Amino acid sequence: MKHLISMRDLSADKTLQLLKLAERLEKDPSQIDLSRRVMAAMFYEASTRTRMSFESAMKRLGGEVIGMVGTSGTSVEKGETLADTAKIMARYSDIIVMRHPMEGAARYVSEQVDIPVVNAGDGANQHPTQSLLDLYTILKSQGTLKGLKLALVGDLKYGRTVHSLAYALAPFNPTFYFVSPKSLRMPTHILSDLTQKGVSFKEKTTIENIIPDIDIMYVTRIQRERFPDREEYEKVKNAYIITAKLLTKAKDNMKVLHPLPRVNEITTDVDSTKYAYYFDQAENGVYMRQAILATLLGEAK
Residue 151 CA to residue 175 CA, distance in Å, equals 9
Q: Which residues bind ligand CP (CB under 6 A)?
A: 47-50, 130, 259-261
127 catalytic? Reply is yes
Instruction: Give the helix/strand (H/E) hosting 41.
Output: strand 38-43
Residue 101 or residue 261: which is nearer to ligand CP going by CB? 261
> Which of 3, 37, 51, 99 is an active site residue?
99
221 catalytic? Reply is no
50 catalytic? Reply is yes
CB of 285 to ligand CP, least distance (A): 8
Contacts of 27 (CB under 8 A, 6+ apart): none
The letter for the amino acid at 234 is E
Picking from 131, 136, 116, the residue whose alpha carbon sits closest to that of residue 296 is 116
CB of 160 to ligand CP, least distance (A): 9
99 catalytic? Reply is yes
Residue 265 CA to residue 268 CA, distance in Å, equals 10
CB of 57 to ligand CP, least distance (A): 13
Picking from 154, 142, 135, 129, the residue whose alpha carbon sits closest to that of residue 292 is 129
CB of 259 to ligand CP, least distance (A): 4
Residue 46 CA to residue 53 CA, distance in Å, equals 14
Residue 162 or residue 254: which is nearer to ligand CP going by CB? 162
24 catalytic? Reply is no
> Which of 3, 15, 50, 221 is an active site residue?
50
Residue 39 or residue 260: which is nearer to ligand CP going by CB? 260
Active site residues: 49-50, 78, 99, 127
